[in-house]
Structure 1
Amino acid sequence: MSSFTHFYETWLIHLHHLLNQLHSSPRPPSTADHHHHLLHLLHRVMSHYAEYYRVKCLVAERDALSIFAAPWATSLERSLHWVAGWRPTTAFHLVYTESSIRFESHIAEILRGLSTGDLGDLSPTQFRRVSELQCETVKEENAITEGLSEWQNGASELIGECADIEEKIGRLVSVIKKADDLRLRTVQRVLELLTSHQAVEFLIAAAELQFGIRSWGENQDRLRDRSHGC
């Protein structure tokens, strides 16, 4: 598990570099080259997330219980976990929050009929599709949660003499894989509903939320360790 912790720390450093590139990208894209650059950058970011889930899947197959323990995460991050990671529907809350913030900051331009092209400028069709996707995702979340509950309800069988531990752990791995697949697929489908400009802003908000929670969690863990040391 220490090897995955090292992988995750290195992965976060790379994500930070990608975040800087997202921040410095041309928005809105004013030329075909700018548009191509944004699409290439979006692909790189999503490939980076896909790599994380690929490696995590391999680790889960070897040690599913440690994936739930998540020693690479802070206490705060673990308290927010849903099936060993972030809840997929968080993506929709992020879209709505960022859209509202940007709409309010550009309300003068919007009232004048000017298009900002950012997340504050989502069309009615985009809002409808995001809402439909959210409903679909909630159903899948609930099904996965039910699958985990069934696994947990059978916990007493794990200590039985005839218990097939490998088979039961295999079912847990399956639940983790389904959750991670939904996490990645949700982000991919949200991006498909956005323009390249809006997609970049969404990924910036997602990465900043991840880094913000981790930073605050590290702070809290340090304070707790100091108080225990005293």
Structure 2
Amino acid sequence: MGKGHFENWGESAIADNSQQTDTSTDIDTDDKNQFNSGQHGGQIVVDSMEGSMGKIGDPKILRRLAQNREAARKSRLRKKAYVQQLESSRIKLTHLEQELKRARQQGMFIAAGASGDHNSVVGGNGALAFDMDYSRWLDDHQRLINDLRSAVNTQIPDNELRILVEAVMSHYDEIFRLKSIATKSDVFHMLSGMWKTPAERCFLWIGGFRSSEILKMLGNHLEPLTDQQLMGICNLQQSSQQAEDALSQGMEALQQSLVDTLSVGFTSSGNVGDYMGQMAIAMGKITTLENFLHQADLLRQQTLQQLHRILTTRQSARAFLVISDYMSRLRALSSLWLARPKD
């Protein structure tokens, strides 16, 4: 080989070795960087774990975790009690429905009678008991009114007529007594007037008739009246109207208060204690509702008694006949309306 060829070969070999050396150096550098990075990352993980372990041992965090566990435990207990209460209520409701169904099927009626028994129930239901009592009361009332009408038409002496008038007055006292018993059992049944005909319910006011309307109606059927009687009836009508207005306003305020009580906490967390507290308040307001119904019946009873004292015996007899005829026509109107052609 010539000298020039040897020199060229040597330069070529040196160039090849140089390229291989550079490549090897690059690879070694990358591996080294990756190794160092891995060591650094591992160190970060170790440091993070050591920091977490240190924080867990912090008394504040441990106390907060214990409080959270206790709150969760109490929440589970409340939910469990609430579910148990709902289940108990469902069982009681089912039991009552079964008793009511059995009472209706068997016709087992235990009603309060003249003996003064205040446990007026029909198969455990006071509303059914009152319906039966009221039906019997209507039959007895019609017999008394028939006797009174016959006595007025035959012009019997006042002392004999007075006995019949007093009997009718006592019979009205009986229905107020029965209503008082039934109100304690089911105030909503009494307020709804479901024991009356549809036409009567149309004019219902707090479970009965308006005294002022009855007095206004009687004014055209009791003539002639003395000036003193006219003044007495006028004053009685005015006082009855004022009492009715006061009771109506009280009922409206009570109903609004009940709505406000039941609507509290719709967006709350459903705490069972809060719910039961609100329902307890609502139950207390329903007791007040019973008092309003009692006051309305007391007003009706006292109005009839005052009217009886203002009028003579024959005028009182006439007044009771007019009131009875008015109620009978309302019941007849209901029957005619229900029996009308539906075409």
TM-score, length-normalised on structure 1?
0.82
SS in 2 for 1:82: coil
Amino acid aligned to 2:216? H
- The aligned counterpart of 1:196 is 313
Q: Which whole-Å CA distance do the structure 1 matches of 2:246 and 2:328 have between them?
A: 29
Q: 175-184 or 59-68, which moves further after superposition?
A: 59-68
Higher relative contact order (CA 8 A, sep 6+): 1
Asked if 1:85 is matched to 2:212, the reply is no
Question: Counterparts of 1:11 and 1:75 in 2: how far apart (Å)?
Answer: 19
- Give the structure 2 partner of residue 108 of structure 1: none
Aligned-partner residue type, residue 10 of structure 1 = R
Which residue of the partner structure matches residue 328 of structure 2?
211
1:38-53 alignment runs, 5 A limit = 38-53=161-176
Over residues 143-190 of structure 1, what are the superposed CA-to-partner deviations in whole Å (9 max), with x where a residue is unaligned? 111111111111321355232232111000000000000011101101
Aligned: 1:153 with 2:279: no
Over the aligned positions, Cα root-mean-square deviation in angstroms equals: 1.8
- 1:63 and 1:91 map into 2 onto residues whose CA distance is 27
What's 2:288 paired with? 171
AA at the equivalent of 2:323: A
CA distance in 1, matches of 2:338, 2:207: 19
Determine the structure 1 residue equivalent to 2:129: 3
Q: Which amino acid is 1:25 matched to?
A: A
1:24 aligns with 2:150: yes
User: 2:243 and 2:234 mapped to 1: Cα distance?
Assistant: 15
Is the counterpart of residue 13 in structure 1 residue 139 in structure 2? yes
TM value normalised by structure 2: 0.56
Aligned residue in 2 for 1:35: 158
**Contact persistence 1:38–1:197 (CA under 8 A):** yes
- Where 2:163 maps in the other structure, the secondary structure is helix
Match of 2:25 in 1: none
CA drift of 1:139 comes to 1.1
Identity, in percent, stands at 24
Distance 1:28 1:96 in 2: 24
Q: How does 1:36-185 map to 2 (within 5 A)?
A: 36-98=159-221, 119-156=222-259, 157-158=261-262, 160=264, 161=275, 162-163=277-278, 164-185=281-302
Higher alpha-carbon Rg: 2
In 1: Cα distance, 2:180 partner to 2:204 partner = 17
- Mapped to 2, the partners of 1:35 and 1:27 lie a distance apart of 13
The 8 Å contact of residues 203 and 209 in structure 2, kept in 1 or not, is answered as yes
Structure 2: segments with no counterpart, 5+ residues: 1-126, 265-274
Please give the alpha-carbon distance, in whole angstroms, between the structure 2 residues aligned to 1:214 and 1:46: 21
Query: In the TM superposition, what whole-angstrom CA distance separates every residue of 1:107-146 from its partner, at most 9, and x where no partner exists?
Result: xxxxxxxxxxxx2211111111111111111111111111
- What SS class does the counterpart of residue 223 from structure 2 fall into? helix
